[in-house]
């Protein structure tokens, strides 16, 4: 595996591999089994696998955890090597953003729901870096986890609306044995919070089952929220149900419903979701 | 030459020509010698030449000339064939914009100068369609005329900031024998306006010469404006001097200065510019 830190080197290598199918896994590093599931699928599907590790400043708000986002490039390098990655792209912030053009991508309506409420500008920053990375790597297939369901929905919509020549591949959320979704931010949980955090997934399942039994979403959402409030010390940011992937209010015609939640713990904000 | 009207057909043909260098000339049709200069250069530089004709609704304001923008697809087809174009992409508006994603590209500061003042949202619409077309055609080289100097500056900045894998090639403005810049909109001029319109270019030259003699931009701009006002029945939208391609105020460090003007005639708004 080759580690590359500059855009010019990356461009040269991509140009040399143009005839191959390229699988791409963009990450912020601190790799866990969720990322490994993406890398493994990319390795199976493609001739050439590029992973990126870039903690993207553009998607963090002023009071968010950019500076203390967990990093361990040595461990990540070993994991990516073991997963059969060909190129690990690990640029600096100034390499990715050498100047500010003033040209922005604005997600609009899709970013006002769910995480958009408490993370304004977050998804604009995601599309900024994703556009650059897609243009640099020119992947055949790009792999994203369903754990970041809203991010996945926005990227799918963006790729579709703007005709990016890439196939987006959804990979199911990988969970701890007790059900907690794998996340780089789990490392910030206290022992007690870690035990409590399993209740996010349980609350989502409870909401889903309640919905299936009662077809009353208000009751289902209330039950889910109440479960988290009773069983954790965290503060519920939201627990919502929306159509997927268009993130609209559920109607009689909605096929796939996304039950999603975000909960603030002392040093981490965790998210999780399930699809019906 | 093959005429293609659907995105799927275009994708299939591009996939078949991946190993070739692709030259791309995006236009709104009603081709004139300015467009032909782009097509000729594209033909010389590349294995495969794609031209598009699409009068892009996204870049027209509500009270602008979308509906009466001149069209002549038969004549354009003949001209493109003669220029050696391989693929003429001519989609409908609903083919290009089958749904509204809500995700927008916003040009910001670069769009507030020059034409941005009287055409709000125009350059956002240009980047919307250019992103889609670049993603569909995946050109090696894309050709743009310097007559649309602000559009060219914005596209160059966008490609650079977002790492689109395409080389932007600038082609000098093609002019009538008397100096009037070729434009699809010249067809809207009355006989008298057509005679007057030569004074746009003359005013720009006068401003440039005055600047070189006096190094006083205020005087240079005033002289240019006064020339248009005295010699035409048009109304000056702007006559400005900015650094190029970053479109900032001219300072002692500015290398290339763009003198640009836009003038409203009765049924057409004409633009022109020169670079020092």
Give chain B positions within 8 Å (CB) of A103: 105-108, 110, 127, 154, 157-158, 161-162
Confidence at B118, pLDDT banded by 50, 70, 90: confident
Q: Which residues contact A244 (CB under 8 A, 6 or more apart)?
A: A149, A153, A256, A257, A258, A275
Q: Which residue of A has its CA nearest to B16?
A: A19
pLDDT above 90 covers a percentage of chain B that reads 95
Contact between A244 and A146 (Cβ < 8 Å): no
Statement: residue B224 has pLDDT above 90: yes
Q: A74 at the B interface (CB within 8 A)?
A: no
Question: Would you state the pLDDT for residue A267?
Answer: 95
So what's the pLDDT on residue B117? 86
- Show the beta-strand stretches assigned E in chain B: 2-4, 22-27, 48-53, 87-89, 104-106, 141-145, 167-171, 235-243, 257-264, 269-275
pLDDT at position B104 is 98
pLDDT score at B122: 95
Q: What is the pLDDT of residues A220-260, one digit of tens each?
A: 999 999 999 999 999 999 999 999 999 999 998 999 999 99
Which pLDDT does position B138 carry in this prediction? 98
* The predicted structure's pLDDT at residue B6: 98
Q: Kindly report the three-state secondary structure assignment for every residue of chain A.
A: CEEECCHHHHHHHHHHCCCCCEEEEEECCCCCHHHHHHHHHHHHHCCEEEEEECCCHHHCCCCCCCCCCCCCHHHHHHHHHHCCCCEEECCCHHHHCCCCCCCEEECHHHHCCHHHCCCCCHHHHHHHHHHHHHHHHCCCEEEEECCCHHHHHHHHHHHHHHCCCCEEEEECCCECCCCCECCHHHHHCCHHHHHHCHHHHHHHHHHHHHHHHHCCHHHHHHHHHHHHHHHCCCEEEEEEEEECCCCCCCCCCCCCEEEEEEEECCCCEEEEEEEC
Pairing of strands B141-145, B22-27: parallel
Residue A118 pLDDT more than 90?
no
Phi then psi for A169, rounded to 5 degrees?
-110, 125
Catalytic hit among A35, A90, A199, A227: A35
Whole-number pLDDT of residue A63: 85
pLDDT at residue B63 is higher than 90: no
**pLDDT, position A177:** 97
Indicate the residue of B11, B103, B107 with minimum beta-carbon distance to A157.
B103
Q: Which of A103, A104, A113, A138 to mutate to test the interface with B (most CBs of B within 10 A)?
A: A103
A145 is in an annotated binding site: yes
- For chain A, the straight-line distance linking the first and the last C-alpha, in angstroms and rounded, comes to 39
Residue B180 DSSP one-character state: P
| Cα–Cα separations (whole angstroms), residue A94 to A24, A82, B37 | 22, 29, 38
| Banded pLDDT at A116 (limits 50, 70, 90) | confident
Secondary structure letter of residue B111 according to DSSP: G
pLDDT in tens, A156-208: 999 999 999 999 999 999 999 999 999 999 999 999 999 999 999 999 999 99
**Tally of CB atoms within 10 A around B237:** 18
Q: What is the mean pLDDT of chain B?
A: 96
Domains annotated for chain B, with CATH where assigned, are 2-171 (3.40.50.620), 184-269 (3.30.1300.10)
In this prediction, residue A17 carries a pLDDT of: 96
**B35 catalytic, yes or no?**
yes
Hey, are the CB atoms on A104 and B106 less than 8 Å from each other? yes
Please tell me the distance in Å from B137's CA to the nearest CA on chain A. Answer: 9
Whether B2 contacts B88, CB under 8 Å: yes
Gap between the Cα atoms of A275 and A266, Å rounded: 27
Listed in sequence order, the residues at least 6 apart from B103 whose beta carbon sits closer than 8 Å to its beta carbon are: A105, A106, A107, A108, A110, A127, A154, A157, A158, A161, A162
Q: Would the CB atoms of A160 and B106 count as touching at under 8 Å?
A: no
Residue A217 to chain B, least CA–CA distance (Å): 26
Nearest CA in chain A to B106: A104
∠ Cα A158 B97 A148 (to 5°):
15
- Confidence grade of residue B116 (pLDDT, cut at 50, 70, 90): confident
Q: Judge whether residue B265 has pLDDT over 90.
A: yes
- Contact: B103, A131; criterion CB under 8 Å: no
Tell me the residues of chain A between 125 and 144 that have a Cβ less than 8 Å away from chain B.
127-128, 131-132, 135-136, 138
Is A157 in CB contact (< 8 Å) with chain B? yes
pLDDT band at B79 (very low <50, low <70, confident <90, very high): very high
Share of chain A above pLDDT 90, in %: 95
Enter the ipTM: 0.94
Per-window interface: A 101-120 vs B, CB < 8 A: 101-110
User: Of these residues, B35, B90, B122, B199, which one is catalytic?
Assistant: B35
For residue A34, say whether it is annotated as part of any ligand binding site: yes
Grouping H, G, I as helix, E, B as strand and the rest as coil, residue B259 is strand
Q: Taking residues A131-152, what's their average pLDDT?
A: 97
């Amino acid at each position: 595996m080759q580690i590359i830190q500059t855009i010019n080197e990356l461009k040269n290598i991509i140009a040399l591999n143009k005839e191959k199918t390229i699988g791409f896994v963009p990450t912020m590093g601190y790799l866990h089994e969720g990322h490994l599931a993406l890398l493994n699928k990319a390795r199976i599907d493609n001739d050439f696998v590029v992973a990126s590790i870039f903690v993207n400043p553009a998607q963090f708000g002023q009071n968010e955890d950019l500076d203390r986002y967990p990093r361990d490039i040595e461990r990540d390098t070993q994991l990516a090597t073991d997963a059969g990655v060909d190129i690990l792209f690990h640029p600096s912030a100034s390499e990715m953003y050498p100047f500010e053009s003033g040209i922005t991508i604005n997600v609009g309506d899709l970013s006002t729901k769910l995480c958009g409420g408490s993370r304004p500008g977050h998804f604009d920053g995601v599309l900024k870096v994703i556009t650059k990375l897609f243009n640099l790597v020119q992947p055949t297939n790009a792999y994203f986890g369903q754990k970041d369901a809203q991010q996945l929905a926005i990227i799918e919509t963006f790729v579709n609306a703007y005709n990016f020549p890439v196939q987006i591949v959804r990979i199911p959320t990988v969970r701890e044995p007790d059900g907690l979704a794998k996340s780089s931010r789990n490392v910030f949980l206290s022992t007690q919070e870690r035990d409590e955090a399993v209740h996010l997934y349980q609350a989502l399942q409870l909401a889903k089952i309640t919905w299936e039994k009662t077809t009353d979403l208000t009751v289902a959402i209330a039950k889910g929220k109440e479960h988290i409030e009773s069983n954790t010390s965290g503060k519920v940011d939201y627990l919502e149900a929306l159509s997927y992937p268009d993130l609209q209010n559920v109607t009689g015609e909605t096929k796939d419903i996304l039950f999603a939640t975000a909960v603030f713990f002392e040093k981490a904000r965790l998210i999780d979701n399930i699809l019906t």
